[in-house]
């Protein structure tokens, strides 16, 4: 009558369950871009982060989630060269296949690495922008820091980036303080991406914004991350943001990583009590 | 013939830590073999763990014990111990997925949603667009909806966008969780045609189908779930 007659119950197979030898053969050849080994930074017991290890590969997006005060911002600062951890090492692939400890180099060298390879997007856009410099100047300044000199080229690139972050080019000479919060955040992103960093650190980039403004900014970030193949570490307390942007997620509670893994696995099959609590507190969407 | 995916001795128990640490054993000693060109149907009553098993095959649920082996040429990759980026790579190239509900990026149009898996695999816009359009047309999604975001679509329309997306690439393995649940008979028939075509090109399909007539049309083999373990 039909194929379904060829019914077998695969469960009754007397397949005794000897593990098969496996090889993780999907060859993902690239070496890690960033690795942290057992890093800790505690201002006081439970204040900061404790014994965190992670590896980030080129093009990967990692979200760090957890409640306020769980140490996310402090961790992001240590990963991005801004706060030396009390213990452990943070290593960056500065030249192909060679990891350098960020905190064993000189201050000047570290600043150089950060300038050339990192983008840092602060939660409050004005923390990452210069108030007394025009929008175009805020973008151009970063180019000059990495050696650009030709005024015409710099201005052209500033225009290109304003357009990329959906700011009208006619605003190029306006001061960022005359911009809305959403525009300021987009400008901060342009300022960070103009030098083509490999790795971008973002701390609650959609934090203080209205919902509709947030949505537009998220779309923009998602598209830029994909187009530029950026590796990103993003701190957020919003699980929907993590689901939208991140390949992987790390859940923090009181300075400790309690669970980590593939984003949809952690959110759909949370295993740690705290992750279950976080996931169940969000309205179903 | 060698299987292209093998699940071996799979166990999974949910522990609901914030609800008195209740334990829900859902998968016990599950063994599956999946072959190219055939459709294996997971069969069992509601709550018997069909979706949990399928999600485990996709790396969406984590199993407690056992192996989830995917053939990669002469070798096997165990998804149960693979790194997230390996699972992501597998999902891009090897394992397609159609869930019961559309969960996509908000604000993307139906057409963009269907094109996305193709674009992520380096297929050009020029190639991806006609393919996406023909899938949407095959599934009777009205053309006026193609450029709209599906958030406001009916359940059946959303589901058909979801199916078009799942069939956009010729994945070697396709996992289907009640893809026809919210569809009428005519549209269900369209989905069956897609399943038959995928089988014909050599796809291995694992599916869950609520309607017995659909099951009878597409299934080559049934995998009987154990009945839910009552406590
Ligand atoms: N510079 C600092 N000096 C002392 N305590 C700090 C400092 N920075 C952060 N903390 C404390 O460390 C804890 C973690 O802070 P933070 O990393 O900002 O958490 P989150 O970003 O998750 O909200 C908080 O209790 C905070 O008060
Ligand atoms: N993420 C989850 N967390 C907790 N329990 C779950 C989860 N997913 C499924 N379950 C439970 O596992 C059991 C099997 O569910 P499911 O796999 O959806 O069965 P089926 O698809 O056969 O109806 C149900 O009792 C369900 O509530
Ligand atoms: Mg913070
Ligand atoms: Mg189900």
Q: Could you tell me the residue ranges of all domains in chain B?
A: 39-62+86-224
Structure-token pair, residue A223: 């598209």
* Residue pairs spanning A and B at CB distance below 8 A: 128
Measured from the CA of A204, which atom of ligand 1 is nearest?
21
**Measuring CA to CA, which residue among A143, A193, A138 is closest to residue A165?**
A193
Q: Which of A23-27, B12-16, B166-170 has the lowest mean pLDDT?
A: A23-27
Task: Read off the pLDDT band of A10 (50, 70, 90).
Answer: very low
What number is the average pLDDT over the span A150-170? Answer: 95
Q: Is the pLDDT of residue A16 over 80?
A: no
| pLDDT bracket for residue B101 (50, 70, 90) | confident
pLDDT of B212 strictly over 90? yes
Rounded CA-CA distance B50/B178 in Å is 10
- How many angstroms separate the CA atoms of A242 and A250, rounded? 10
Average pLDDT over residues B50-65: 98
Name the more confident of B227 and A98.
Answer: A98
- Look-up of token digits 């359940």: B155
Is A276 in Cβ contact with B84 (below 8 Å)?
no
pLDDT at B137: 98
Going by alpha carbons, the residue nearest to atom 8 of ligand 1 is A74
This prediction has a pTM of 0.92
pLDDT value of position A29: 61
Angle among Cα B112, B148, A284 to the nearest 5 degrees reads 85
* Rounded CA separation B207/B41 (Å): 5
Q: What pLDDT sits at residue A210?
A: 85
Residues of chain B found within 8 Å of residue A217, distances taken between Cβ atoms: none
Average pLDDT over residues A210-214: 85
CA distance A184 to A189: 9
Query: CA B70 to CA B93: how far, in whole Å?
Result: 12
Cα–Cα dist A97/A108, whole Å: 22
pLDDT digits (tens, 9 = 90+) for A114-134: 999 999 999 999 999 999 999
CA-to-CA distance for A135 and A176, rounded, in angstroms? 6
Question: Cβ of B35 under 8 Å from any chain A Cβ?
Answer: no
Residue B151 has pLDDT above 50, yes or no: yes
For A194-272, where are the alpha helices, taking DSSP H only?
Answer: 211-228, 239-245, 263-268
SS percent in chain A: helix, strand, coil, step 5: 40, 25, 35
With contact defined as beta carbons under 8 Å apart, do A247 and B88 qualify?
yes
State the Cα–Cα distance between residues B32 and A170, nearest whole angstrom: 62
Verify whether ligand 2 is closer than 6 Å to residue B52 (CB atom): yes
B22 in A contact zone (CB under 8 Å):
no
* Distance (Å, whole) CA B190 – CA B210: 16
User: Residue A204 CA to chain centroid, in angstroms?
Assistant: 10
Q: Is the dihedral of CA B66, B100, A242, A218 positive or negative?
A: positive
Q: What is the pLDDT of residue A30?
A: 75
Q: Dump pLDDT digits (tens) for A29-88.
A: 678 999 999 999 999 999 999 999 999 999 999 999 998 999 999 999 999 999 999 999
CA dist., res. A93 & res. A76, Å (int): 17
Please give the sequence-ordered ranges of beta strands (E in DSSP) within B39-182, or none if there are none.
39-43, 65-72, 75-78, 95-98, 173-177
A276 near A94, Cβ under 8 Å?
no
Q: Is A219 near chain B, with CB under 8 Å? A: yes
Chain B residues inside the 8 Å CB shell of A6: 220-221
* ipTM confidence score: 0.95
Q: In whole angstroms, what is the distance from residue A59 CA to residue A69 CA? A: 28
State the average pLDDT over residues B52-56: 98
CA closest to B76 among chain A residues: A22
In tens, the pLDDT along B201-210 reads: 999 999 999 9
Residue having the nearest C-alpha atom to atom 1 of ligand 2: A269
A13 touches chain B (CB under 8 A): yes
- Check pocket membership of B51 for ligand 2, CB cut-off 6 A: yes
The yes or no reply on domain B39-62+86-224 and CATH 3.40.50.300 is yes
Tell me what percent of the residues of chain B surpass a pLDDT of 70.
Answer: 98
For residue A154, report the phi and psi dihedrals to the nearest 5 degrees.
Answer: -60, -45
Question: Rounded mean pLDDT of A152-161?
Answer: 95
CB atoms within 10 A of CB A194: 23
pLDDT level of residue A8 (50, 70, 90 thresholds)? very low
Residue A12 has pLDDT above 60, yes or no: no
Q: Say if A215 is an interface residue toward chain B (CB within 8 Å).
A: yes
A76 CA: nearest ligand 1 atom: 17
Q: Please work out whether the CB of residue A110 comes within 6 Å of at least one atom of ligand 1.
A: no
**pLDDT at res. A2:** 39
Interchain pair A268, B216: CB under 8 A: no
- Tokens 């050339």 correspond to what residue? A116
CA dist., res. B42 & res. B34, Å (int): 12
Tokens of A218: 């998220």
- How confident is the model at residue A226, as a pLDDT? 86
The SS3 call for residue B5 is strand
């Amino acid at each position: 009558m039909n194929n379904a007659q060829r019914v077998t119950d695969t469960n009754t197979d007397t397949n005794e369950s000897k593990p098969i030898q496996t090889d993780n053969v999907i060859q993902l050849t690239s070496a890690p871009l960033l690795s942290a080994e057992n890093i800790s930074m505690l201002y006081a017991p439970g204040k900061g982060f404790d014994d965190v290890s992670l590896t980030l590969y080129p093009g990967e997006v990692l979200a760090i989630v957890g409640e306020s005060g769980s140490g996310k911002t402090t961790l992001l600062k240590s990963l991005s060269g801004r706060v030396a951890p009390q213990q452990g090492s943070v290593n960056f692939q500065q030249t192909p296949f060679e990891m350098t400890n960020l905190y064993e180099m000189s201050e000047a060298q570290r600043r150089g690495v950060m300038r050339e390879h990192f983008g840092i997007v602060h939660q409050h856009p004005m923390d990452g922008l210069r108030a007394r410099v025009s929008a175009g100047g805020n973008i151009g300044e970063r180019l000059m820091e990495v050696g650009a000199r030709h005024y015409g080229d710099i201005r052209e690139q500033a225009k290109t980036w304003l357009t990329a972050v959906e700011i009208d080019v006619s605003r190029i000479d306006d001061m960022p303080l005359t911009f809305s919060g959403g525009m300021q955040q987009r400008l901060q992103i342009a300022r960070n991406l103009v030098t083509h960093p490999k790795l971008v650190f973002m701390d609650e980039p959609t934090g203080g914004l209205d919902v509709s403004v947030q949505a537009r900014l998220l779309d923009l970030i998602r598209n830029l991350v994909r187009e530029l193949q950026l590796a990103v570490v993003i701190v957020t307390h919003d699980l929907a943001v993590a689901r939208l942007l991140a390949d992987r997620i790390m859940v923090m509670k009181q300075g400790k990583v309690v669970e980590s893994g593939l984003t949809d696995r952690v959110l759909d099959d949370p295993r740690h009590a705290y992750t279950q609590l976080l996931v169940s507190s969000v309205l179903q969407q | 013939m060698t299987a292209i995916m093998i699940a071996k001795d799979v166990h999974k128990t949910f522990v609901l830590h914030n609800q008195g640490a209740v334990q829900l054993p859902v998968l016990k000693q599950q063994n599956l073999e999946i072959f190219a060109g055939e459709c294996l149907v997971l069969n069992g009553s509601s709550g018997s763990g069909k979706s949990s098993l399928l999600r485990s095959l996709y790396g969406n649920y984590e199993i407690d014990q056992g192996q989830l082996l995917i053939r990669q040429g002469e070798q096997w990759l165990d998804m149960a111990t693979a790194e997230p980026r390996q699972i992501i790579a597998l999902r891009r190239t090897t394992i397609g997925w159609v869930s019961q509900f559309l969960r996509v990026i908000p604000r993307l149009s139906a057409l963009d949603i269907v094109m996305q898996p193709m674009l992520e695999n380096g297929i050009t816009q020029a190639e991806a667009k006609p393919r996406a359009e023909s899938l949407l047309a095959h599934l009777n999604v009205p053309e006026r909806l193609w450029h709209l975001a599906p958030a406001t679509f009916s359940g059946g329309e959303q589901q058909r966008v979801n199916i078009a997306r799942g069939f956009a690439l010729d994945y070697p393995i396709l996992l289907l969780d009640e893809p026809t649940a919210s569809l009428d008979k005519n549209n269900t028939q369209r989905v069956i045609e897609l399943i038959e075509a995928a089988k014909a090109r050599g796809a291995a399909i694992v599916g869950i189908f609520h309607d017995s007539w659909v099951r009878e049309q597409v299934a080559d083999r049934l995998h009987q779930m154990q009945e839910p373990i009552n406590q």
